[in-house]
Amino acid sequence: MKIPIMAVAMSILCLALVDVGASETGAAAGGFQLVRLKYRGGGDWYSDPTSLPNLLRDVEKVLGVETPKEEVRLSIMDEALFSYPFLYMTGHGKVKFSDEEAARLRRYLVSGGFLWADDNYGMDEYFRREIRKVFPEAELVELPFDHEVYHVIYDFPAGLPKIHEHHGGPPHGYGILHDGRLVVFYSYNTDIGDGLEDVEVHRDPPGKREAAERMALNIVAYALTH
């Protein structure tokens, strides 16, 4: 089901005024903000540095919601985490969550937060291992192509677009549901973040860049309206 852009914009504006958790607060900036998750383990959580600023501009341009020019960068244990509804993580390598971090990330997600993990080639085995600490009772399940995340604003009838070739074969979109709500979306073997970078970084053709931008907007819109 497509959601009107105005409805998405109103949902984002409302969420910008409310903390994710009722018991933990931080100093959130005004307007909608994307948070890049800083994680331990040695992986380059900071990779694709121009991707989120570009996505913020897309959110403002397409959805008409005021956004800052730069992302916020927070660790799981940062006091301000619960002030933001949307987390993004990426990287090429190792990810490590302590037991305390896993418990806090779970609390964040079941309280209304959302995590989009975008494999930048090499993160897969580590992310799968660590997210199991967060939801030991749940599996990452592949989402069907008719899932709303692929259609909420723009239609992707074959699921995730393929931006960069890493492992061979098609891309895959996985999710974790808690009480019927999608709380984690994991994009694998596509590298949406690369497609969001400044054009001179990877020199992707316009069609690839547009597909990455549209899919990223779908993920944001879906997360903030469900």
d(CA 138, CA 62): 34
Number of domains in the chain: 1
User: Distance between terminal CA atoms of the chain?
Assistant: 12
DSSP state of 28: P
What does pTM read for this prediction?
0.90
Three-state DSSP at 15 gives helix
pLDDT tens digits, residue range 113-151? 999 999 999 999 999 999 999 999 999 999 999 999 999
Cα–Cα nearest to 190, from 171, 207, 209:
171
Q: Which residue has the higher pLDDT, 136 or 226?
A: 136
> Partners of 89 in the beta sheet?
117
User: Given this model, what pLDDT does residue 194 score?
Assistant: 93
Domain CATH number, residue 80: 3.40.50.12140
pLDDT score of 26: 35
Residue 3 CB neighbours (<10 A): 17
Is 47 within 8 Å of 91 (Cβ atoms)?
A: yes
pLDDT digits (tens, 9 = 90+) for 15-67: 544 466 543 433 344 568 999 999 999 999 999 999 999 999 999 999 888 89
Residues, the chain: 226
What is the span of the domain harbouring residue 96? 5-223
Counting Cα atoms < 13 Å in the Cβ hemisphere of 166 gives 20
